[in-house]
Amino acid sequence: MTTHAQIGSSPLTAAKLRNPPRLAGGLPVFGHTGAFINDTVGLLQRTHDECGAVGKFKLFGKDVVLFTGPEAHEALFRQPDEVLSPNAAYKMMVPVFGRGVAYGAEPAKMAEQMHMLYPALRNNRMRTYTEIVARETLDTIASWGEEGEVEASAFFAMLTNYTSSSCLLGKEFRTEMSEEFSKVYYDLERGIVAWGYIHPYLPIPAFRRRDRARARLGEMVSEIVEARKQSGYRGEDFLQTLMDAEYKDGSKLTDHEVTGMLVAAMFAGHHTSSVTTAWTLIELLRHPQFLDGVHDEIRARYAEEEAYTFQSLRDLEKTERAVKEALRIHPPLFILLRAALKNCQILGYQVKKGDWVAVSPLVAHRDESVFSNALQFDPDRYGPGREEDRRPFAYISFGGGRHKCMGNAFAILQIKTIMAVLLHRYDFQLVGDTIETDFQGLVLGPKPPIRVRYRRRARGRPLHDAKEHPASGGD
């Protein structure tokens, strides 16, 4: 039986369905597995360049169909989970989040778990998070002095670890366990490697460290949950939200489930925010004409007082456009996957049960038919009169459909807050022009070292040169 997608196409009989064009090359059985492990992004881009909007390649005996373009994205994202399943595609995350949590749970249970996070993302909580992120940023730069230099990748990884753990996990992790938590979390996230798509339980060192870290994190969360219950303390954070949450049958989350949900929230709230904050500053420093506009907006908004409120951050429209453009050019998650549980068709192409289907935000955002001068950093593309992100399913940095990242507003607010604090107090300058993307991990960040010089803000000429640095699109 073939299930028909109704978005952007009319029902077709199986006999009329087209087979997706196949990428040339590859080995018997293994297909393009070697290229995927060694250069995942390069393989995705080559599939699009050689095959067009729809292309197929093989990973370890499994066909993967890559769809590119707003109509294809919509048709894919609107397929029900019973047809195209994210859970089946992301089994590599089960050892990280834990069995029975998120992708390791049945779809209905996962939906309930995700719904439990909504109270933590409401406006009243977001107002609290704004104050926390601002305070953590101010505390982190308190020792900077008048001028100096930082390595941007390490600095923003550290800072967003502080801000995310404070907002999501609570004060206990931030103040009492920060050093051990940082090490455990590092081992956990470094356990997400391309081999996990093939088999998430291979006996490799990265997976052994991942499993030890997940077990220890579970112990840490259980200790804090028990301490809160004994003391009666209630936090304004994700941890408290999950401690209070109930399933439809009235049962509470277990400590194992609380830990897994917190890990999922941290992965969404820390790692992507870390690299996007770094990319936002880097791209602004590369393009002084946009940096000047963001400077003026921030410094005008906080001219009289330095109170980083939820409302004041919402007013920073140019800053938000810069963040969105950094996310477009450098989407942290460069591939989004679904596993076909049934035969189906997408825009007239046949997808067979057992295939994987994919979209790539990185490839999609380089499509010149959707984004003008797609490789150019241009935050004005989101301004009045252009609004290139308004086309449905064109801008997919946060995915789309029912599984679109629910923390996107928190992520953007967090990055805007950090930018506002830093650019209000300091001027910055890149030391050296060559900055490349690190394509080795599953989250695309700038390849360190990224040296940035800072100088305390003075009225008058900013620190950056008048000459624009080269654009970044050709990474």
* End-to-end CA, the chain: 43
Cβ atoms of 136 and 114 closer than 8 Å = no
Cβ atoms of 71 and 54 closer than 8 Å = no
Q: In this predicted structure, what is the pLDDT of residue 16?
A: 75
Question: Which H or E run includes 99?
Answer: none
| Assigned token pair, 359 | 């979209």
φ, ψ for residue 387, nearest 5 deg: 45, 55
Could you please report the per-residue DSSP string of 236-288?
SSHHHHHHH-B-TTSPBPPHHHHHHHHHHHHIIIIIHHHHHHHHHHHHHHH-H
Nearest CA among 396, 288, 278 for reference residue 336: 396
Q: What is the pLDDT of residues 195-207, one digit of tens each?
A: 787 789 999 999 9
Q: In this predicted structure, what is the pLDDT of residue 472?
A: 41
- For the chain, state the CA radius of gyration: 23
Q: For residues 249-281, b (16+ Cβ closer than 10 Å) or e, as one string?
A: eeeebebebbbbbbbbbbbbbbbbbbbbbbbbb
Q: In this predicted structure, what is the pLDDT of residue 127?
A: 85
Q: In this predicted structure, what is the pLDDT of residue 10?
A: 43
**Checking phi first, is residue 336 left (phi over 0); if not, alpha (psi -120 to 50) or beta?**
beta
Distances (CA, A) of 344 to 8, 22, 63, 114, 408: 14, 18, 14, 27, 30
Q: What is the pLDDT of residues 242-282, one digit of tens each?
A: 999 999 999 999 999 998 888 888 777 677 889 999 999 99
To 5 degrees, how large is the angle CA 401–CA 129–CA 445? 60
Q: What is the pLDDT of residues 41-87, one digit of tens each?
A: 899 999 999 999 999 999 878 899 999 999 999 999 999 999 999 98
Cβ atoms of 287 and 377 closer than 8 Å = yes
Residues in the chain: 475
In tens digits, the chain (475 residues) has pLDDT values of 444 444 444 444 555 789 999 999 988 888 998 898 888 889 999 999 999 999 999 987 889 999 999 999 999 999 999 999 998 888 889 999 999 999 999 989 998 998 898 888 777 788 888 999 999 999 999 999 999 999 999 999 889 988 988 888 788 877 776 678 878 888 887 888 777 877 899 999 999 999 999 999 888 888 888 989 899 888 888 889 999 999 999 999 999 999 888 888 877 767 788 999 999 999 999 999 999 999 999 999 998 777 899 999 989 999 999 999 999 999 988 889 999 999 999 999 999 999 999 999 999 999 999 999 999 999 999 999 999 999 999 999 988 888 887 778 888 999 999 999 999 999 999 998 789 888 766 678 899 999 999 999 875 444 444 344 433 444 4
| Assigned token pair, 303 | 């001219």
Q: How far apart are the C-alpha atoms of 361 and 389, rounded to whole Å?
A: 13
Q: How far apart are the C-alpha atoms of 67 and 71, rounded to whole Å?
A: 9
Cβ atoms of 341 and 88 closer than 8 Å = yes
Q: How far apart are the C-alpha atoms of 204 and 77, rounded to whole Å?
A: 34
Instruction: Report the predicted TM-score, pTM, of the whole model to 2 decimal places.
Output: 0.87
